[in-house]
Amino acid sequence: MPPQAVLYSTRRGKGNKMPVAQGTSISPERLRGLPQEAALCRQRPLDARCLPARRLVACRGTPHHGFTLIELLVVVAIIALLLTMILPTLVQAKLLAKRTVCQANLSGLGKAAAMYQTTYGDYVPVSWANYDPAITTNPWKSWYATLLPCTPGAAAFNCPGASDTGPFSPIFHSKQEMCERYGDESTFAGSYGVIYQNAKDGYLTPNYMGQMTRGHPTWSLAFSTLPGVSWRDPTNSIYVADGCFVNGPVTYPTIAFKGGGTSAIVPPDQPGYFDPVKNRRFADRHLGTNCLFLGGHVLSYPTSVLDNMPAGSGCNVWTTE
């Protein structure tokens, strides 16, 4: 058998030889049948040096690249660093978003209180409990149950930063839950609290037993919002704010100790505010405390600022005097 040969085309140009077929034995009979140009070609033994460069590369195979261990570790380290930088920002953004929703809820409650004032002559409800009609002369409703008809529903009284721990929690689920519980069951509920203190000295109102006494959320239904009557400066006085019942550390307790709801907030100048067993205080749910003022506006304060406001000073916003 003749040796393997490759057919070259002798086109114009010196040394310009192009393989026509590779690895093929060509017989004289086949050469006689080819065109004249091809007939001028001769047979040569197959030589790897004559193969095109691209053919040789293909024969050796295409190289495959992968990640080394060091490259993978570098990528993981970069991702971890980015997460460390981004996560605190995301957490803070989430808190601020909830604070905005909470402020919108309080603003809605301010509008509900304004509607109540329009109907009942400049009064706002302050009672911290629902009183059982079977045992009281005046079966007052709590401030939140009284305002409920002026709002879209129970959800308007829920702070988005409060925890839902069931029927007795800072979250209201229904009108029945808000209005048909009495005594302690109605005071250990809700995520917003009314300021729990005496009205301005000299302001007398009928209590739940029909007696005229100094106004206080324990026994009074409502306070007058006229300047100098129940509040020295009602426009710039807190009416309702983020509140919680804390059974745990007194100073800025963690969420684990804020599971209990409350309908009232004891002012920081009273001993009950610092009672570690039964204090009702401003809640720092949103990097601070949201406060609804009797003037209808909503502001956010650092909780420590509210706690340390001197009673009776001109800058105090939670006192009636």
pLDDT tens-digit series, residues 283-312? 888 888 999 999 999 999 999 999 999 987
The pLDDT, as a whole number, for residue 240 is 97
Residue 40 has what pLDDT?
Answer: 46
Residue pair 292/170 in contact (Cβ under 8 Å)? The answer is no
pLDDT band, residue 321 (cuts 50/70/90): confident
| Beta strand spans in the chain (E) | 5-10, 17-24, 43-45, 123-125, 192-195, 204-206, 212-214, 222-224, 238-246, 264-265, 279-282, 289-293, 298-301
Query: Which segment of 32-36, 154-158, 183-187, 204-208 scores lowest on mean pLDDT?
Result: 32-36
Residue 167: pLDDT over 60: yes
Q: Which amino acid is at 139?
A: P
- Output the average pLDDT for the chain: 80
Measured distance CA(110)–CA(106) in Å, rounded: 6
Indicate the pairing of strand 43-45 with strand 123-125: unpaired
Confidence grade of residue 233 (pLDDT, cut at 50, 70, 90): very high
pTM over 0.75: no
Structure-model confidence comparison of residues 56 and 126, the more confident one: 126
Question: Tell me, what's the pLDDT at 20?
Answer: 47
Q: What's the rounded mean pLDDT across residues 205-221?
A: 93
Give the percent of the chain with pLDDT over 90. 48
* DSSP character at residue 229: T
- The CA-based diameter of the chain, rounded to the nearest angstrom, is 133
Q: For residue 258, what pLDDT is reported?
A: 61
